[in-house]
């Protein structure tokens, strides 16, 4: 599994108290040893050789109040 964290695009610039975070996770389906052949084939048909997910959020002081 490969996980990468970075600053996401979004509010910023003149607002230094804004934090924007982006997390990307991906995994090579062939590396999953606990999957059966049918499960792996179903996932590969849907996602290809690699499954990935991306999530991001923006937090600010105003939102935290």
pLDDT of residue 1: 85
Residue 44's contacts (CB-CB under 8 Å, 6 or more residues apart) are 29
Residue 31's contacts (CB-CB under 8 Å, 6 or more residues apart) are none
User: What range does the domain containing 14 cover?
Assistant: 2-64
- Give CA–CA dist 52/15, Å, rounded: 31
Model pLDDT for residues 26-47, shown as the tens digit of each residue: 999 888 889 899 999 999 999 9
65: three-class secondary structure by DSSP = coil
For the chain, the domain total comes to 1
Model pLDDT for residues 2-32, shown as the tens digit of each residue: 898 887 665 555 555 556 778 899 999 888 8
Dump strand ranges (E) for 1-65. Answer: 2-7, 19-28, 50-59
Model pLDDT for residues 47-65, shown as the tens digit of each residue: 999 999 988 776 665 655 5
What is the model's pTM?
A: 0.59
pLDDT of residue 9: 61
């Amino acid at each position: 599994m490969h996980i990468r964290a970075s600053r996401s695009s979004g509010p910023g610039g003149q607002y230094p108290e804004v934090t924007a975070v982006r997390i990307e996770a991906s995994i090579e389906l062939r590396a999953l040893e606990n999957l059966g052949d049918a499960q792996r084939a179903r996932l590969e048909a849907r996602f290809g050789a690699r499954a990935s997910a991306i999530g991001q959020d923006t937090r600010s002081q105003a939102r935290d109040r």
